[in-house]
Amino acid sequence: MQKNPNPAGVEQAAAIKKVLVLCTGNSCRSQIAEGYLRYFGGDKAGIYSAGVEMHGVNPNAIATMKEDGIDISSHTSNHIDEYRKIDFDFVITVCDHAKERCPIFPLATIRFHHNFRDPAKATGTDEAVEQQFRQVRQQIKDYCRKFVSDNL
């Protein structure tokens, strides 16, 4: 007779994966990605975002996410150093600058990279800037949906 490794049918909670999204200033792209990863990932992961610098959360990022039904208005801009003691399962860099300046993480950390255009650098009319934010938002949304599907 085989011994039941899970007596009384007690469910064992799977370890929650920890995901860090890293960008230059933690103001737009990483904030948008954090919002979508939380949305698509639900309780499957702990989601964090940070920057190699801190620029504050961009009001246009908040507005463009609100258009899509996701509230990131309570997010804060955080520096990577705040998370030095967390063993992340995944680190996603969302710009080349952050990838180049990304600190060393434990070998077990799986890194992903996608260079999204910085919507904070958009110029032109208010409508043109909003459109660029929407385009980048959609790209990040698609990336995050696939990331969650493939990895969480």
Residues annotated as catalytic are 23, 95, 102
Q: Give the 3-state secondary structure of residue 17.
A: strand
What torsion, rounded to 10 degrees, do the Cα atoms 135, 41, 77, 51 define? -80
Cβ count within 10 A of residue 55: 14
The rounded radius of gyration (Å) of the Cα atoms in the chain is 17
Residue 127: CA atoms inside 13 Å, Cβ hemisphere, count? 0
Rounded CA separation 56/118 (Å) = 14
Rounded CA separation 22/87 (Å) = 14
* Beta-carbon contacts of residue 58 (< 8 Å; ≥ 6 apart): 27, 28, 31, 119, 120
